[in-house]
Every structure is written in C-alpha cells, then in structure tokens.
Structure 1
Amino acid sequence: MTADCSRCFALCCSALGFERSSDFGHDKPAGQACQNLAADFSCTIHAELRVRGYRGCTVFDCFGAGQQVAQQTFGGRSWTEYPEVRPAMFSAFPVVRQLHEVLWYLDEAHRLADATPAVTADTRAALAALLAETVELSQRDPAGLAVVDLGELRQRIGPALGAVSAGVRAGADGVRLPRRLVPGADLLGADLAGRDLRGADLRGAYLIAADLAGADLRGVDLLGADLRDAGLHGADLSSALFLTPMQLAAAAGNARTRLPARLTAPAHWT
C-alpha cells in the first residue's frame, strides 16, 4: 500500500480535481492535468510545493493505487500515449484509491487481531474474508471497478475494525480519560499536551491544531481523525491504531515523535 510515483502516470495530478485554497495554488477540474505537470509525469515545482501554496499535494497519498491502475488495470498504457484510455483510467483511479485505503486499514486490523487474544475468532474470520474480497475488487477491470459499491463495503468493514479496536484498547483499562474524548469529538485547538490518552477512541475526531506534544497516544484509535496542524512533537504514537501517512503529513511533529513501524516521519517535520 505504498505509493510509487515512478510507476504511475501522475493520476493524482490529472484525474483528481481541486479548488484554489490555502492547500492548492489554483483551480483544477477533475480530468485535467495540473499546470505544474511535466511531460514525463513529474512535478515541475515538487521541491517547492509547500512554499508555493500546494500543501495539499504534499499531504495526499494514493496508498499505491496509482501504480496499480497504471501498471495492472491498464497494462502500462499511459493516458498521453493512448488517449482512448483516459476516461476509463481517470474514473478507475479514485475507486482503486479508496479500495487501497480500505486495504491499509484491513491489513493493520488483521495483524492486530492475530496479536490480540480479546479479538474473537469470528472477527478474525470476518477480517480475512473482507481482506480477500477487497483485494479482488481492487484487481477488477475498468468495467468491474465502475460498479463497486464503496459505501456498502465500508459499512461492512466498519464493525470489524471497531471490534479489533475495542479488543486492543481494552488493554489500556485503568487510564482515566476526559469525557470529551469520544468518537467524532470536537477537539479543535484542544490542549492535550503531555496527557496520558492511551486507549482513547478518537475515530473521526476533529483534532485540528490540537496540542498533543508529549502526549501518550499508544493504543488510541485515530481512524479518520482530522489531524491538520495538530502538534505531535514528542508524542508517542508507536502503537496508535489506523494512523495513515496522510494524517501525519497534515500534522506537525519532530524527531522525538514516535511512530508505528510501518510509517515514517514526513519530510517537512522538524
């Protein structure tokens, strides 16, 4: 689930659209190549994206969907050399990208379940089936991808991920957590620096610009949490649940921030 831009055809810079904002320097409709895209699919301002007003580009992650669509779904045929594949390729990319994000979560949940006795055998079996199903969906041809019901798939995956999360977080019993630390909580700008938050369920929480410096976030469920501009300096996220590269790239941290083994610190962290 790791992006390899060298094997993609800049699908995030062409298939997807964005509006001029604090994260993007200009309007770009979906299906139109970015004005900063070079003929070889490289970015002409890659080294200066943040200072040039394109922070959103540095945050985005396709979870490896770009090379999957480019090299597998379309057999290495680029949309510039073979214009006839452009509509189908640009339609397939966002679907596969969402499927690969789901696979990121399922893969983590599968590994956690195997290491957590509190997770039932039924949950483990459900995860294995969902993982196999999602892999199959991601490998479909363009016509098959067009009929994937992502909403229905996510509805079935949510409870399985929740069961794994509950099993893992049960190991943090005894930690006294503030009542406001609940799924979907509004924690914009919250001062949580240095707090012991182990085992908190912060799924979908709004942690924009929250101060989490030095906080203990081990075993915290961060599925879908908004970490834009959150301060993670010196925080311990070494066993945080369902954390993604995009969440880290949107936050601020430093060399003392502890991360899960499969994640690395973004280049812009101090």
Structure 2
Amino acid sequence: MGLPERALQTFCWAQKQPQLFPDDRVLASTVEVLARDHELKMPFNLEKFTSLASRGVIEAMVRGFIRGGSLRLARKVLLVAKDGKRMLDSGVYAKLILELGKHPDKQMLVVALLDELGEREDFSLSQQDCTAIMKVCIRLRKFEIVESLFNWFKQSGRDPSVVMYTTLIHSRYSENKYREALAVVWEMEASNCLIDLPAYRVVIRLFVALNDLSRAVRYFSKLKEAGFSPTYDIYRDMIKIYMISGRLAKCKEVCKEAELAGFRLDRETTSWLQFERDKRLGF
C-alpha cells in the first residue's frame, strides 16, 4: 500500500505486545516496507549492522531496496554481508540480477553477481528465479550460463516448465544453434508440457530460420487449434517462410488473415512482397 509511516506505527505497537514481539518476521517486514519507500535510514556502521542483524532482516532490507529501485544500496548491503561471511539467500541475488539486467549500463555488475552465485556451494534457486536469470543472460549473450543453469535445474531433480524450455530454445536460437534448439523442442514435446503462446512464437521462428515450411505450418495450425490468436510477428514469420518457399498464394492468404485480425503490414513486409511479385513477373 506504500504506507511506511503506518508500518512503523504498527511495529511500535507490536513491540509492546508480549505475544507478538520479539519476532524477526515483524522487524523484517517493517524494514522491507521502509526500504522500499525510501524511508529507511542506513546505519552508519553497516558492517556492524550486518554482523548483528538476522539473515531474514538483512534479506528484507535488500528486497526493499530492490523494489524501491535503490539498486546501488542493495548491492552495497550484499557486498558488506559477503565480506562479513553472511550468506544470503540465492533468490535475493536473482532479484537484483533481474533488475540490474534491465539497464544496459549495469552489465558489469550483473556479471559480478553471476560470478558470486556460481561460487556458492549452497546454490539454490526457484524455477522462476532460475528462468529469470536465464533471460537476463540471453540479453548479455552469456549463453554458456544459460546452458549451465538449465542443466543444474534438471540435475536437481525438477522438471522444467514450458517457460524454461522456451527460454533455452530462444537462447540457442539467438546463438544461431538452430539444430541444438530443435532438440529442445522435441524434449519439450516429450515432457507433455502445455505449450503456451510465447513457446509457439519461438518455435515457429526457429522453423523459419531452419527454412522448415512443413513444421512451421503444422505449429501455426496447432497454435490456432489450441485457441490462441497469432501475434503480428507470428504472421510476419509465416509470410516470410511462404515467400521464401515461393508460395505467393499462401502469402496473400496469411496477409489477408492478419489484416482481418486487425494488423497492418509493416513497410518491410510489404516491400518483401512487392519484390517477390516483381521478380516473378520478370521486372
């Protein structure tokens, strides 16, 4: 609700209730709210604070700074905690990596945090955090880390979700490893994951890169059979592969379908179509 003053008032009230206090969860919650809303005064001696505070309180402070956009302070607390041999939860690192990954100028900080995570013996991440880090690594073109995280997750005895499979396919596609990405598609299908729209989108793009018209068409049909409406970039990919295959009639059919769905063809796509028409007419 963004009410740091009320949070502090509630904390002060809880302190006077023997059945509620002391309780680190109450303190941690208050610290997180104050940090998130920029109302938390940083202790002068941060090293002493991290040595005395519980792990839950330190992590709450970091989470609050992250949610409040104070990424520099969040990173500072992590560094001080690390120097003081205080091991914080891997999920806190994941959340900071995810936020820093949104800023191109913070790439070096992200790499440093990834290195710190990789050095930990008690490495543990939820599937959501693991997938989020994989997506950041794709933007940074750290494809080897994406592969390592996926392998670690499977070796931990858990089954990847469709989102994690899609992320790995996208990573290999981005690295131009199309055949390797295709192997992940078959693994995803064999796992009986319920394929969602982003997965169809990535897989169709992969088939276009492989110039595999029959499979692109099959997945385009499966997408609609599953009740999804194609996005514009899916229509664009289908127009492209039909055009490359010389199927101009099918190109027109997909163009008409896209326009009926409310999309307007972009200039590049219309130029492609005009070029192919002219080429076939001998112009």
Considering Cα pairs closer than 8 Å and 6+ residues apart, tell me whether 1 or 2 has the greater RCO. Answer: 1
State the TM-score bracket (shorter-chain normalisation): under 0.3
The two structures have a TM-score, normalised by structure 1, of: 0.22
Q: If each structure's helix is expressed as a fraction of its own residues, which one has the higher value?
A: 2
TM-score, reference length from structure 2: 0.21
